[in-house]
Amino acid sequence: MSNVSIPKGTRDFGPDVMRKRNYLFAVIRNAFIQYGFEPLETPAMENIETLTGKYGDEGDKLMFRILNNGEILEKAKSSETNNSLIKNVSEKALRYDLTIPFARYVAMNRVTLAFPFRRYQMQAVWRADRPQKGRFREFYQCDADVVGSNSLLNEAELIAVYLDVFKSLNLNVEIRLNNRKILAGLANLIGAAERLTDMTIAIDKLDKIEWSGVKQELEKANFTSEQIAKIEAYLSIKGTWKEQIAQLHTIGLASDEQVAKGIAEFEEVMRLYQSMCGTNDSIVMDLTLARGLNYYTGTIIEVKAKDVAMGSIGGGGRYDDLTGIFGFPNMSGVGISFGLDRIYAVMDELNLFPQEVVSATKALLIQFGGVAEPVCLNTVRQLRMNGIAAEIYPSAEKIKKQMEYANKKQIPFVILIGDTEVAQEKVILKNMQSGDQQLLSLAELIQALKN
Amino acid sequence: MSNVSIPKGTRDFGPDVMRKRNYLFAVIRNAFIQYGFEPLETPAMENIETLTGKYGDEGDKLMFRILNNGEILEKAKSSETNNSLIKNVSEKALRYDLTIPFARYVAMNRVTLAFPFRRYQMQAVWRADRPQKGRFREFYQCDADVVGSNSLLNEAELIAVYLDVFKSLNLNVEIRLNNRKILAGLANLIGAAERLTDMTIAIDKLDKIEWSGVKQELEKANFTSEQIAKIEAYLSIKGTWKEQIAQLHTIGLASDEQVAKGIAEFEEVMRLYQSMCGTNDSIVMDLTLARGLNYYTGTIIEVKAKDVAMGSIGGGGRYDDLTGIFGFPNMSGVGISFGLDRIYAVMDELNLFPQEVVSATKALLIQFGGVAEPVCLNTVRQLRMNGIAAEIYPSAEKIKKQMEYANKKQIPFVILIGDTEVAQEKVILKNMQSGDQQLLSLAELIQALKN
């Protein structure tokens, strides 16, 4: 049994990684709280009927189902099809995202909640996707949503949350903004309203397969060359957001009611953000942004890191009817999501995690035993009571072994208290990086480590 | 589909509950970090062979198994027994506790870890127990363990973690301490060494069924009346820990080598704790403490709340060989666990959660729209940039509706900025509890809310 392993697509997060992840969680949570978002956690498992049919056929297939207790075989013998057997032996599945459980929670608690309801949720989700680089079967989502308000101020505030978080993380980002109504209007104008999803899925791939690839996709989806030419004209629009809006007018797109509405919403979000934060320089209009498979109906948002090649590190948007599927209709919502794994990867690549995240313990007390023991024990206690994370090696092993432990854990200081120091009522503080040693009183030691 | 629900035995944690839970997690995590414990998270699902056989037959039955994708029915038709079918259709199960995944992690990472390895882990576990009051199918465990050190200083430090946490929470507790070697020695002495587990399971019920009940259990387990008399004599020992140890000598139990070793370990833990913290007044010896079903081999620990009737709110102990089952033998470990749900219940009953945990948002800006809008938006921005959690109602609804929102969310202050205030460059700060209003400049407002 020495050949132990974990399920493919899952990960252990050891101390070094966890400290960095906890740092990201703390920064994101802090911003959510600053903006009045309230914490929510939902169970890992939901009833099957809560989840199925919400994520397309693909989603239903990729859900991790929980086996009921009891006699499967009996049920199998009397069961006609695999699907009916699955229903017989499994009534629960693991959460696939945080949005559907959130909608389910809002519908169940509609009477007691204060609307507009602003909630944040940071929990794991599970998908039986084929594991590959950067894609996992268990991963965290960090979402903030407002439900029960049409006001575009919510969009402006969520963009501010993004920019505050990434400023705290020292990560240069650009917010890309578009509006699904502009895309819906485009589909309208070219007589392909019912093929909006085909169109957005194709447009969504522009980053990866360039225009020639998107064109082929559109041809495959039976768009005419005239329609494709208009889509190309739309996707070719460049410039500042004001210039792009001017061009939407010039090429006649803004004559469509939906497009006009999308433009007006876009302008209002920009105005509100500017009014709140003094500038909207970090926000660009990206008419090629589509967020293909999603249920968005208004503003759509994506965050890109500026100093590194990486897909979006966050995204979100407005959806008109979040809770209707659970019998609570006409609740408009808007939300954003932080891509934790990708943010982690970018921060790591750019070396942006602060030094204090690398090791939590500030100092290790080396044990010599004997008369020094009670002094050592009292010293570690005093450090902790002064808010300094400190350890004492649990037994008087060889000093080399204790030093190696400090090195391996990247503890920046060790404290040595031998018989001489006890007699002097002093301690030696050694900086593990520089090798410098200081002879200090307890009060001086606390001061030195508190910085 | 309006009749939505969640699986029985699971819970949604809404904002009010989550804020309190997050407060508990933060206090516990902070203590773990102060003592040099390092964070670990393991996947929700483990391979079946990692988990089965580790928790007894009962545990194997109560595990939530994950269904593999694919054709169950095909496998069912060719399968002979239910058990072999389950193996065919399910290769993973949800984590049942945090100790086995920790042992599995240590065994897998033995080469790179710094030993003694101190880790903390706060994650959900799942058990298909019959749900009942206070027992759930999904619940959190908060564990700290040290592995790879025999030193009893680890025990003393873990007791200090307990007492620090409960002091931070303003919760009066008593640490109950015993040593499994004393119980093993007792079983030895009465010639029932191989029935130690039967004995500890019966003793463990003393709190619930009193001595008469325990006696019946022992009779049922075929202990002789002579053996039972000796167990009764042992369980009748009372007094301070020093008095109890004296009685162990008096009635002849301390003549057993194991008992003597258990007593020596107990005394050493008390000495080390006293030396570190100056007093060991909060620790009592409880010879009736057995922690029946567990794999402990030395010190055993339980925490009881003093001001309320409630079972233990934490427990732990020393186990000689944690990782041997995963091919990495002779690693002694000692750990403690916080019973989060019970601590929550006690804190709630005694009203011990601090006021600032009740509402996170400090102030709500009431929107009147018009010329006040940009002033409002700028004000909420300034508050947030000064670290004050603030909200702005997203649209200029009737003031009554906005006030109701503040009340429902228990936001302690609202800020009103109408045309008059804009002209004066002032804002009105209203205390929602007292009804008091103040006319303040922006700088004064920030000062007032910062406190």
Alpha-carbon distance of B58 to A75, in angstroms, equals: 23
pLDDT at A84: 74
Best probe of the B interface among A63, A72, A111, by most B CBs < 10 A, is A72
| C-alpha pair distances (Å), A381 with each of A37, A418, B168 | 38, 18, 15
Measured between CB atoms, does A5 come within 8 Å of chain B?
A: yes
- Residue among A406, A361, A407, A414 nearest A388 (CA): A361
Task: Tell me where in chain B the CATH 3.30.930.10 domain(s) lie.
Answer: 15-349
Residues of chain A found within 8 Å of residue B401, distances taken between Cβ atoms: none
Q: What is the pLDDT of residues A267-303, one digit of tens each?
A: 999 999 999 999 999 999 999 999 876 689 999 999 9
Domain B361-450: CATH superfamily, name plus number: Anticodon-binding domain (3.40.50.800)
Measured between CB atoms, does B11 come within 8 Å of chain A?
A: yes
pTM of the shown model: 0.94
Residues of chain B found within 8 Å of residue A98, distances taken between Cβ atoms: none
ipTM for this model: 0.93
Give B319: exposed, middle or buried? Use CB within 10 Å, 0-12, 13-18, 19+.
buried
Measured between CB atoms, does A114 come within 8 Å of chain B?
A: yes
How far away is chain B from the Cα of A11, in angstroms, using its nearest Cα? Answer: 6
Q: Which of residues 260-279 of B touch A (CB under 8 A)?
A: 272, 275-278
Residues of chain A found within 8 Å of residue B391, distances taken between Cβ atoms: 35-36, 118
Q: Which of residues 227-266 of B touch A (CB under 8 A)?
A: none
Q: Where are the beta strands (DSSP E) in B320-380?
A: 333-338, 363-366
Pick the residue from chain B with its C-alpha nearest to A34.
B389
Q: What pairing do the DSSP bridges indicate for beta strands A138-147 and A333-338?
A: antiparallel
Share of chain A above pLDDT 70, in %: 97
Share of chain B above pLDDT 90, in %: 85
pLDDT-derived band of residue B74, with 50, 70 and 90 as boundaries? low
Measured between CB atoms, does A209 come within 8 Å of chain B?
A: no
Q: Do A34 and B390 touch (CB under 8 A)?
A: yes
How far away is chain B from the Cα of A157, in angstroms, using its nearest Cα? Answer: 9
When CB atoms are compared, the residue of A34, A35, A43 closest to B138 is A43
Best probe of the A interface among B25, B66, B117, by most A CBs < 10 A, is B66
How many contacts (CB atoms, under 8 Å) link A and B?
301
pLDDT higher than threshold 80 for residue B1 = no
Helical segments of A221-291, H only: 225-235, 241-250, 257-277
pLDDT-derived band of residue B335, with 50, 70 and 90 as boundaries? very high
How far away is chain B from the Cα of A104, in angstroms, using its nearest Cα? Answer: 7
When CB atoms are compared, the residue of A36, A73, A392 closest to B82 is A73
Measured between CB atoms, does B6 come within 8 Å of chain A?
A: yes
How far away is chain B from the Cα of A217, in angstroms, using its nearest Cα? Answer: 31
Q: Do B275 and A77 touch (CB under 8 A)?
A: no
Measured between CB atoms, does A11 come within 8 Å of chain B?
A: yes
pLDDT higher than threshold 90 for residue B56 = no
pLDDT at B355: 86
pLDDT-derived band of residue A81, with 50, 70 and 90 as boundaries? confident
pLDDT higher than threshold 60 for residue A1 = no
pLDDT-derived band of residue A158, with 50, 70 and 90 as boundaries? very high
Residues of chain B found within 8 Å of residue A10, distances taken between Cβ atoms: 43-45
A317 DSSP β-pair partners? A300, A335
CB-based contacts of B299, cutoff 8 Å, min separation 6? B152, B155, B177, B178, B179, B180, B265, B266, B269, B317, B318, B334
Q: Is the peptide bond before B116 cis (omega within 30 degrees of 0)?
A: yes
Q: What is the pLDDT of residues B341-353, one digit of tens each?
A: 999 999 999 999 9
CA dihedral in degrees (A17, A22, A28, A31; nearest 10)? -150
Question: Which residue bears the tokens 């075989």?
Answer: A73
pLDDT at A227: 96
CB contact at 8 A, A335 and A213: no
CA B66 to chain centre: 26
pLDDT higher than threshold 90 for residue A83 = no
A166: left (phi over 0), alpha (psi -120 to 50) or beta: alpha
pLDDT at B359: 76
pLDDT-derived band of residue B133, with 50, 70 and 90 as boundaries? confident
pLDDT higher than threshold 70 for residue A68 = yes
Alpha-carbon distance of B271 to B250, in angstroms, equals: 23
Q: Name the residue with higher pLDDT: B1 or B232.
A: B232
CB-based contacts of A355, cutoff 8 Å, min separation 6? none
CATH number of the structural domain A15-349: 3.30.930.10
CB contact at 8 A, B314 and B142: no
pLDDT at B250: 95
pLDDT at A87: 74
Q: Do A41 and B18 touch (CB under 8 A)?
A: yes
Measured between CB atoms, does B417 come within 8 Å of chain A?
A: no
pLDDT at B272: 97
- Three-state helix/strand/coil letters over A336-384: EEECHHHHHHHHHHCCCCCHHHHCCCCEEEECCCCCHHHHHHHHHHHHH
Q: Name the residue with higher pLDDT: A3 or A254.
A: A254
Q: Which of residues 317-346 of A touch B (CB under 8 A)?
A: 325-328
pLDDT-derived band of residue B2, with 50, 70 and 90 as boundaries? low
A351: left (phi over 0), alpha (psi -120 to 50) or beta: left
Q: What is the pLDDT of residues B241-282, one digit of tens each?
A: 999 999 999 999 999 999 999 999 999 999 999 999 999 999
A307: left (phi over 0), alpha (psi -120 to 50) or beta: alpha
CB contact at 8 A, B417 and B364: no
Mean pLDDT of chain A: 94
pLDDT at B27: 97
Span A77-94, mean pLDDT?
A: 79
Q: What is the pLDDT of residues A341-373, one digit of tens each?
A: 999 999 999 999 998 888 789 999 999 989 999
Q: What is the pLDDT of residues B178-215, one digit of tens each?
A: 999 999 999 999 999 999 989 999 998 998 899 999 99
Q: What is the pLDDT of residues A383-400, one digit of tens each?
A: 999 999 999 999 999 999
Alpha-carbon distance of B273 to B280, in angstroms, equals: 6
Backbone angles phi, psi at A179, to 5 degrees: -140, 125
Q: Do A76 and B74 touch (CB under 8 A)?
A: no
CB contact at 8 A, A409 and B119: no
When CB atoms are compared, the residue of B3, B277, B389 closest to A381 is B277
CB contact at 8 A, B352 and B171: yes
pLDDT higher than threshold 60 for residue A2 = no
pLDDT-derived band of residue B309, with 50, 70 and 90 as boundaries? confident
Task: Tell me where in chain A the CATH 3.40.50.800 domain(s) lie.
Answer: 361-450
pLDDT higher than threshold 90 for residue B30 = yes
